[in-house]
Structure 1
């Protein structure tokens, strides 16, 4: 399949293909999270996490909510568009498990 400008798959991969993006979205599928929660759960640098969250906000996939608590509380959550990626992540997960299991079966003596 040739890569073509304006190709929907190419367009999607420009957003989702960046390192950590799918994993960030997967973490947010469980609900809103604070920056430090994401940073700790994913073992990602703060600089890179901040960059990816800004990218996802710009694409309309993640929303940053600021609560006027003391101290100020900031949470990130998926938008409606961001939640639409869940079936893709589920399929990737299933595909990866199936692939891993078939590799194990190939190496098990009969």
Structure 2
């Protein structure tokens, strides 16, 4: 029994039909994408000019497998593009597409918010999440 002011739990009839396109008009797909672990950090690194796979891995203190997985996902989403160079040793670089570059303002606003939310302390805490790598390389600097 539902009391006044309470909402009933959704039933199977309330759920979208199998195969139906989800409604993302509320931005939920973008929130999920941006909230996926490492996406924003990798995008931020690319915006700051870090392009080589090994540079990004060192900067974020991220293992190669995880970084390769996340970069592949960014490629599939049309955010980043991979460029391989035929040389020895093999050199792989990544760059943001126009869709990825469009996130510059989003990243900038997050950086501003971090500073305003708690001043330098917020920036230090964010930087320390991966052994201080962000702070060392100024990855969260506002441009």
Higher RCO, 1 vs 2 (CA within 8 Å, ≥6 residues apart): 1
Instruction: Calculate the TM-score normalised by the size of structure 1.
Output: 0.82
**8 Å CA contact retained: 1:34, 1:75:** yes
Q: 5+ unaligned residues in a row in structure 2: which ranges?
A: 1-21, 123-143
Q: Match of 1:36? A: 54
Q: 5+ unaligned residues in a row in structure 1: which ranges?
A: 105-110
Runs of 4+ aligned residues of structure 1 deviating over 6 Å after TM superposition are none
Q: Match of 1:85? A: 103
Q: In the TM superposition, what is the alpha-carbon distance from 1:70 to its structure 2 partner?
A: 2.2
1:24-63 Cα shifts (integer Å, max 9, x gaps): 0000002251111111111012111111100000000000
Aligned length: 100
More helix by share: 1
